[in-house]
Amino acid sequence: MDIKIKEKVDNWLNGPYDEDTKSQLKKLLAENPDELTDAFYRSLEFGTGGLRGIMGVGTNRINKYTIGMATQGYANYLNSVYPGKEIKVAIAHDSRNNSRRFAEITANVMAANGIRVFLFEALRPTPELSFAIRYLGCQGGVVCTASHNPREYNGYKAYWNDGGQLVPPHDKNVIREVDKIASVDEVKWSGGEKNIQIIGKDLDSAYLKMAKGLSVYPEVIARQHDLKIVYTPIHGTGITLVPDLLKEYGFTNVTIVEEQAKPDGNFPTVVYPNPEESEAMSIGLKKAKELDADILLGTDPDADRVGIAIKDTRGEWILVNGNQTALLAFSYLIEARKSKGIAKPNDMVVKTIVTTDMIDRFAEKNNVACYNVLTGFKWIAELIKEKEGKEDYIVGGEESYGLLVGPELRDKDAVSAVAILCEMAAYEKDQGRSLYEKLIDLYVQYGFFKENLISITKKGMRGQEEIAEMMQSYRDNTPTSINGSEVVQLLDYQLSKGKNPKTGEEWEIKLPKSNVLQFILADGSKISARPSGTEPKIKFYFSVNTTLDKAVDFDKVHEQLNQRIKGIIADMKLQ
């Protein structure tokens, strides 16, 4: 065993750690030294979004000690920014194993540092935490969740006073304070319990009232109230609010997928509790087929991501990807506001740089400003704050199944998105057509964009180095063409620089630095490479487009675009 790793293990075995932790360490030492090495070869990094990792003992794991030290650092930063003032934080958690325990540890450490804590009485969706921060006038907040990761993971997302996740300068400043906590002895574990206030139903009511106010066409829902809706919370927090909100909207024919209705951190019916995965939606799809439903919706464990399925023109059920879902939501809200007469000249929408550019085209044709930000919903939240009082935010979204309708909270919100997507389905049904037909109509009118995503996992000590080497290789050896189409632009967000490889022309990218590369091809294709900020993965996003003259040509043109993406992947040797 590496000498530095052994020193860390010895420190835990002989230090102020509980006996259960020491017992688990001794077992690993005797039975699984490789896992022990992975658990201690580094300290779990408090990144710009907080912590996320596998639960267990060790410095590279999510446990009471890594949670406590992170919270102490965050509390120190809050006290330094607001000296002598009352500081308030809201704390929530999802359905994962240990999430309640971690939330209570977080609350106790915050309270012991003199901070007033609003702790939800039980599991709640992440978007309600964002709402609570703004509603209660908090300076910060924490939700204990690992979002859509597998069951062995947990995490810790930190928020600022606007209800959004930490952005500069606060993200790096909090990281510095967390890094200063060298020992668990520096953590104030208890002593401020009087500063903790339990919250719940009142916040639920306030959130539901806000979310109901996002509806554009309640009169359409009244006519289509019996729209056949199937919903699955995939064992997560969505069950606490989604059914109530659909009822508030006026929908009367909602079926909950019973097999996945109970919150359960073991996620017994799925491998990945992620609506992006067809396997996670399979039970819901079966139920939707049985009932001949109009729409199926699923949310991830902390209810900030939503996936949907709809029927095509042949009556076959299809899972709609995140880009298509965002396109449908953006187009509905822009068009509905226009037809209702409530659109404003300064309306704006926001998307990320890896989300379909078809939204940009749609917004431009409809005279609505569309802004592009870095990947991560915190950047959408930051832009909303920047434009507040100047422009009217309508909707934001990202390809990874995240949507936020309206400006009343500042993180992606699958709860309100479910209601709006159901309203959208009711609106199209009221017009005598399906959501699928609406999607094809958009392709005919604005161009047919198709996207795909590949994630390459690189685990362990060597994995991060391999990912870094891949990115550097693309920077050092920029391809001149991909799949037979010339690379006309290289966008390097780490260097904040765009370049035409052929002419040498360069320009500044006016976004915060981020380790992302984009290749723009002469045929309009776009390839993005980005290491994940939360998982040991590098992600490649592909976007291709062409015209679709007639709806009946959809299948043929879809296959042409599919082949183009396959050609790009093969040329880049990614599979």
Same domain, 135 and 246: no
pLDDT in tens, 194-209: 999 999 999 999 999 9
459 has a pLDDT exceeding 80: no
Choose between 534 and 211: higher pLDDT.
211
Is residue 189 within 8 Å of 109, Cβ to Cβ?
yes
> How far apart are alpha carbons 84 and 377 in whole angstroms?
32
Establish if 341 belongs to a structural domain.
yes
Per-residue pLDDT reduced to its tens digit, 504-528: 999 999 999 999 999 999 999 999 9
Which one of 203, 234, 266 terminates a domain? Answer: 203
268 in the same domain as 365: yes
Residue 337 to residues 174, 213, 226, 229, 333, Cα–Cα distance (Å): 40, 14, 24, 24, 6
Q: What percentage of the chain has pLDDT greater than the value 70?
A: 99
Q: Could you read off the pLDDT of 246-272 as tens digits, one per residue?
A: 999 999 999 999 999 999 999 999 999
Q: What is the pLDDT of residues 227-240, one digit of tens each?
A: 999 999 999 999 99
391-409 residue pLDDT tens: 999 999 999 999 999 999 9
Q: Which amino acid is at 301?
A: P
Strands (E) in 175-214, as ranges, are 196-199
65 contacts 18 by C-beta, under 8 angstroms: no
pLDDT reported for residue 396: 98
SS3 (DSSP) at 279: helix
346: in domain: yes
Q: What is the pLDDT of residue 520?
A: 97
- In angstroms, the Cα distances linking 207 to 87, 172, 212, 317 are 22, 31, 9, 32
Q: Mark which of 387, 413, 446 sits at the end of a domain.
A: 446
**Is the same domain home to 382 and 523?**
no
The pLDDT value given to residue 463: 80
Domain co-membership, 250 together with 181:
no
Domain that holds residue 271: 225-446
pLDDT value at 465 more than 90: no
Q: Edge-to-edge, what's the strand order for the sheet holding 347-352? A: 369-373, 347-352, 392-398, 402-405
Catalytic residues: 147
Q: pLDDT value at position 534? A: 62
- The pLDDT value recorded for residue 362 is 98
The closest alpha carbon to 427, from 332, 341, 499, 337, belongs to 332
Q: Please, which pLDDT band fits residue 289 given cuts at 50, 70 and 90?
A: very high
Q: Are residues 490 and 504 in the same domain?
A: yes
Can you give the pTM of this predicted structure?
0.95
**423 and 320 in one domain?**
yes
230 in Cβ contact with 299 (< 8 Å): no
- Residue tagged 């967000």 (tokens): 493
**CATH (domain of 490):** 3.30.310
- pLDDT, residue 533, reads 67
Is 208 inside any structural domain?
Answer: no
- Clarify whether residues 285 and 342 are in a common domain: yes
How many C-beta neighbours within 10 Å does residue 260 have?
27
The rounded distance, in Å, linking the Cα atoms of 550 and 554 is: 7
User: In sequence order, which residues have a C-beta less than 8 Å from that of residue 386 and are 6 or more positions away?
Assistant: none
Q: Select from 125, 215, 126 the least CA-distant residue to 164.
A: 126
The gap from C-alpha 559 to its chain's centroid, in whole angstroms, comes to: 29
Q: Are 46 and 125 contained in the same domain?
A: yes
pLDDT band of 449, cuts 50, 70, 90: very high
Cα–Cα distances (Å) from 462 to 94, 403, 465, 517, in that order, read 31, 35, 5, 22
Q: What is the DSSP string of 143-165?
A: EE--TTS-TTEEEEEEEETTSSB
491 and 442 in one domain? no
Q: Which of 133, 95, 62 is nearest to 268 (CA)?
A: 95
Percent of the chain with pLDDT over 90: 91
Closest CA to 184 of 36, 68, 29: 68
Per-residue confidence band for 537, with pLDDT thresholds at 50, 70 and 90? confident
Res 575 pLDDT > 80: no
The answer, yes or no, to whether residue 89 has pLDDT greater than 90, is yes
As a whole number, the mean pLDDT across the chain is 95
Higher pLDDT, 535 or 312: 312
Which pLDDT tens digit goes with each residue over 335-356?
999 999 999 999 999 999 999 9
pLDDT in tens, 324-333: 999 999 999 9
Inter-residue long-range contacts of 438-442, CB under 8 Å, 24+ positions, other chains counted:
438/328, 438/331, 439/320, 439/324, 439/327, 439/328, 440/548, 440/551, 440/554, 441/551, 442/327, 442/328, 442/331, 442/358, 442/362
Domain tally, the chain: 3
Assigned domain for 24 exists: no
Torsion sign (Cα): 194, 195, 196, 199 = positive
The answer to whether 220 touches 426, Cβ cutoff 8 Å, is yes
**Residue 47: predicted pLDDT:** 77
Pair 366, 486 in one domain: no
Q: Any idea which residue has 């704390």 for tokens? A: 91
Q: Say which DSSP state 62 is in.
A: B
Summarised one tens digit per residue, pLDDT across range 5-56 is 999 999 999 999 999 999 999 999 999 999 999 999 988 888 777 899 999 9
Residue type for 114, please? G
Distance CA(275)–CA(268), nearest Å, equals: 15
Task: Please measure the distance between the N-terminal and C-terminal CA atoms of the chain and give it in whole angstroms.
Answer: 35
For the stretch 294-317, pLDDT in tens is 999 999 999 999 999 999 999 999
pLDDT of residue 461: 64
Supply the pLDDT for residue 49: 77
Q: Residue 525: what pLDDT?
A: 97
- Tell me the sheet residues that pair with 51: 156
As separate numbers, helices (DSSP H) first and strands (DSSP E) second, the chain gives 18, 23
Report the interhelical angle of 33-40 vs 19-31 (nearest 10°). Answer: 130
- Residues 457, 348 share a domain: no
Q: Which of 142, 145, 187 is nearest to 160 (CA)?
A: 142
> Confidence class of residue 145 from pLDDT cuts 50, 70 and 90?
very high
Expressed in percent and rounded to 5, the helix, strand and coil fractions of the chain are 40, 20, 35
d(CA 270, CA 496) in angstroms, rounded, equals 40
Does residue 535 register a pLDDT over 90? no
Residue 296 covered by a domain: yes
